[in-house]
């Protein structure tokens, strides 16, 4: 059971990623200090993969939590798999390394295990994370994502990121990177929204065919942050089918939703700032769904997306218009 807790899959660059990751994003109204406490609880509970981003404005707290668990002898740096993300105001190639260095400085770490392009939709560079014009509309930037990718490759070569990947890319955008002349490193992953209502089966098959790991975010039905999610959207964990499977396995709907991803070869993130639920989510390694259960869960798909980035729908790189 002990080694099951730290199950990993091999990435296409030879590094290993733990299949269960701890999500650290919380809405603005949640005090940032909670990110530190929750990350410590997560490491104590057995999480070894931690997902954050420059955008989340908590990397100082998450870094503090990691460093304090290292100082206490609970883990070594090499036991932790830490992901950061290049925010979209840093997509111009000359801003990539400075963007990563900003994160490392907040983290007080020498390297990240994984650095991913947060989103393909570039915004105007500058101090503002979400730069807006006088009408409140987001200001787009035009960037060649292949040039951005080459700058990420240089960060890997410099040892600042062990692995590099992407997030919120569609199939066409992934293919653009994969087909880039002179590609040095393939993306190791594409981190996308994925749960029983949006199971991403086509994108998953495409990623598997290219040895790219699909990392699932909002696997529990999302943070439902007013800033990003329509408040009238259905509540995933209230789904009666998830409820029935939870009852059958004497687990919870959240555990069914997480286990579903592991059994289809998806690396899954789970965010919680609550001690009881952080510990509960580690139980994903303690039971198995049958192939019948998996079919029932597959049938819940309705291509329903919680995080639509609808204020960016006119962006030339808006990723979610294509079929996948």
39 belongs to the binding site for ligand NAP (CB under 6 A): no
Q: Does 299 bind ligand NAP (CB under 6 A)?
A: no
Interface size with ligand NAP, residues (CB under 6 A): 28
* Residues in CB range of 3: below 8 A, 6 or more apart: none
DSSP-assigned letter for residue 55: G
Q: Is the distance from CB of 150 to CB of 117 less than 8 angstroms?
A: no
Q: Which helix (H) or strand (E) holds 84?
A: strand 81-86
Ranges within 155-174 binding ligand NAP (CB under 6 A): 167-168
In the window 41-80, what residues touch ligand NAP (CB under 6 A)? 51
Q: Please state the φ and ψ torsions of residue 130, each to the nearest 5 degrees.
A: -125, 80
- Ramachandran angles phi, psi of 232, nearest 5°: -90, 5
Residue 280 interacts with ligand NAP (CB under 6 A)? yes
Closest distance between ligand NAP and the C-beta of residue 55, in Å? 8
What does the chain come to in residues? Answer: 324
Q: Does 272 bind ligand NAP (CB under 6 A)?
A: yes
Residue 25 vs 206, nearer CB to ligand NAP: 25
Options 89, 252, 261, 317; binder of ligand NAP; rule CB under 6 A: 252
Question: Is 118 annotated as a binding-site member?
Answer: yes
Cβ neighbours of residue 287 under 8 Å, at least 6 residues apart?
Answer: 249, 251, 255, 259
Does residue 318 have an active-site annotation?
no
Using CB under 6 A as the criterion, what x/- string covers residues 179-208 for binding ligand NAP? ------------x-----------------
* Residue selected from 237, 241, 244, 296 as contacting ligand NAP according to rule CB under 6 A: 237
Give yes or no for residue 220 binding ligand NAP (CB under 6 A): yes
Output the CA–CA distances (angstroms, integers) from residue 208 to 56, 57, 225, in the order listed. Answer: 29, 32, 31
- Active-site residue (options: 56, 217, 260, 306): 56
- Does 273 sit near ligand NAP (CB under 6 A)? yes
By CB under 6 A, residue 32 contacts ligand NAP: no
- Tell me which of 104, 160, 189, 270 binds ligand NAP, using CB under 6 A: 270
DSSP code string of 132-190: B-TTS-B-B----HHHHHHHHHHHHHTTSEEEEEEES--HHHHHHHHT-TT--S--SEE
Distances (CA, A) of 165 to 114, 169, 320: 7, 10, 18
Under rule CB under 6 A, residue 149 binds ligand NAP: no
- Chain contacts with ligand NAP (rule: CB under 6 A): 23-25, 51, 118, 167-168, 191, 217-223, 237, 252, 254, 269-274, 277, 280-281, 307
Please give the annotated binding residues for substrate, written as ranges. 118
Catalytic residue ranges: 56
């Amino acid at each position: 059971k002990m080694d099951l807790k730290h199950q990993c899959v091999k990435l296409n660059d030879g590094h290993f990623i733990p299949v269960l990751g701890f999500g650290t994003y919380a809405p603005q109204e949640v005090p940032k200090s909670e990110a530190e406490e929750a990350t410590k609880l997560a490491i104590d509970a057995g999480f070894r993969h931690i997902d954050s981003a420059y955008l989340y404005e908590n990397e100082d707290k998450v870094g503090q939590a990691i460093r304090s668990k290292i100082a206490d002898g609970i883990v070594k740096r090499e036991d932790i798999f830490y992901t950061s993300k290049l925010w979209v105001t840093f997509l111009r190639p000359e801003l990539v390394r400075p963007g990563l260095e900003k994160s490392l400085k907040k983290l007080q770490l020498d390297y990240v295990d994984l650095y991913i392009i947060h989103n393909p939709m570039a915004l105007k560079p500058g101090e503002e994370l979400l730069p807006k014009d006088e009408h409140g509309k987001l200001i787009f930037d035009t960037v060649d994502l292949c040039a951005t990718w080459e700058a990420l490759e240089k960060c890997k070569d410099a040892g600042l990121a062990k692995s590099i990947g992407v997030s919120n890319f569609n199939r066409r955008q992934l293919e653009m990177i994969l087909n880039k002349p002179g590609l040095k490193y393939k993306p190791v992953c594409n981190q996308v929204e994925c749960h029983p209502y949006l199971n991403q089966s086509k994108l998953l098959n495409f990623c598997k065919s290219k040895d790219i790991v699909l990392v699932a975010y909002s696997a529990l039905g999302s943070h439902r942050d007013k800033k990003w999610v329509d408040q009238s959207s259905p509540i995933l964990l209230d789904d009666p089918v998830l409820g029935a499977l939870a009852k059958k396995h004497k687990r919870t709907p959240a555990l069914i939703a997480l286990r579903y991803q592991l059994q289809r070869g998806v690396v899954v993130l789970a965010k919680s700032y609550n001690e009881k639920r952080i510990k509960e989510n580690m139980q994903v390694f303690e039971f198995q769904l049958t192939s019948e259960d998996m079919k029932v869960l597959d049938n819940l798909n309705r291509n329903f997306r919680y995080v639509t980035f609808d204020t960016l729908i006119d962006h030339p790189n808006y990723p979610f218009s294509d079929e996948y």
